Amino acid sequence: MHIQTEPELEDLLSRPDDATADAMASLEGDLLILGAGGKMGPSLARLAHRSCERAGIRKRIVAVARFTNSSLAADLSAAGIETITCDLLDRESLSGLPDIPNVVFMAARKFGTSGEAHLTWAMNTYLPGLVAERYRDSRIVAFSTGNVYPLRSEGGATETTPVDPVGEYAQSALGRERMFEYASARWGTRVVLLRLNYAVELRYGVLVDIGLAVFERRPIDLAMPKVNVIWQGEANAWCLRSFHFCQAPPFVLNITGSETLAVREVALEFGRHFGIEPTFVSETEGASALLSDASKARELFGDPKISPQEMISGIANWIEKGGALLNKPTYFQARDGRF
């Protein structure tokens, strides 16, 4: 993976394959993306639009966000995507959004929870309740998180693993799921819940956090000794292909890669790329980690096409050449659920 510029990266992240184009072609009606201004939303909107183009169909793709970065809205509009600026927590604004039969829910809050937990609960639990009622007659694919699972000493959590969220962020994320479950039970709303951990691209993600620490010669924390990752473009493609499985009660699906990565080995691999010997906060590794088993998703969608090794190589090249970063660390090392 030798990406040299951000436009090349955006092209790769939003480049559809036949399966995603076919999924959009078979989806009845237009698509609404709520919370489209975050790390994954813009490329998801572009992927949806380009999938329709590849399939030779016309479909309205509507991206909704606060769009505090006005240039993002302009860029999406230039790409053929309709944008609506909206504070989703405002009931009147939410009710004024168009009625669209297919909804991706991406709005969420994680960082800063420890200081302003009430805002996190409002975004992650109260807002999903509002959206679930507003779009109760639509199909909804809602992003959740693998953080709803407990830390595990062996193997990844499956969709049937009992949830046991650690900390208020994870608890509020489970609250999000419960609100969509409530809508499903009360109104028959058809829902898919995507438990994601962790999406990666060249500008952010767990692998970027580790690679940047090695490059800057900062010690690596092994408190969370293992991780799962998936290329962001594939996570978004799986999201669009998930509408086929919307049902009541909700269909739960883990979204992550097929490999479990040891943080130490990832750091050493970055070290080989950079010619730097990584250092570690402590040689003692944590006894458990936040891990998910995405076998169910792989049965539905196939294996991820971009391997962790390709991601590591691409990220190392990107960091070395001074590529733009989002400067949004994941804090994946946190074991206490405080972000």
Position 292 in a domain: no
304-328 pLDDT, tens per residue?
999 999 999 999 999 999 999 999 9
Specify the pLDDT at position 282: 86
Position 18 in a domain: yes
Position 131 in a domain: yes
Specify the pLDDT at position 113: 58
Count: domains in the chain: 1
131-166 pLDDT, tens per residue?
999 999 999 999 999 999 999 998 999 999 999 999
Specify the pLDDT at position 87: 96
Nearest to 289 by CA among 311, 252, 263, 268: 263
Give the orientation angle of helix 41-55 with respect to helix 6-13, to 10 degrees: 60
- DSSP secondary structure string, 15-58? ---HHHHHHHHHS-S-EEEETTTSSSHHHHHHHHHHHHHHHT--
Instruction: Say if residue 11's pLDDT is above 70.
Output: yes
**Quick one: which H or E segment has residue 82?**
strand 82-85
54-106 pLDDT, tens per residue?
999 999 999 999 999 889 999 999 999 999 999 999 999 999 999 999 999 99
Q: Which residues contact 290 (CB under 8 A, 6 or more apart)?
A: 146, 147, 149, 151, 152, 197, 224, 227, 332
Position 177 in a domain: yes
- What is the band of 189 on the pLDDT scale with cuts at 50, 70, 90? very high
Position 290 in a domain: no
Domain holding 114, by residue range, is: 6-199+230-256
- What is the band of 2 on the pLDDT scale with cuts at 50, 70, 90? confident
CATH number at residue 166: 3.40.50.720
Q: How many Cβ atoms are within 10 Å of 217's Cβ, its own excluded? A: 11
Whether 155 contacts 324, CB under 8 Å: no
b (16+ CB within 10 A) / e for 67-99: beeeebbeebeebebbbbebebeeeeebeebee
Position 212 in a domain: no
Specify the pLDDT at position 112: 59
Alpha carbons 225 and 290: distance in angstroms, whole number = 9
Specify the pLDDT at position 214: 98
At 64, list the tokens.
Answer: 């909704």
List, in sequence order, every residue forming a beta bridge with 140; answer none if it has no partner.
103, 191
**Quick one: which H or E segment has residue 206?**
helix 206-215
Whether 332 contacts 339, CB under 8 Å: no
φ, ψ of residue 305 to 5 degrees: the values are -85, -25
Specify the pLDDT at position 158: 98
pTM: 0.96
Alpha carbons 308 and 230: distance in angstroms, whole number = 8
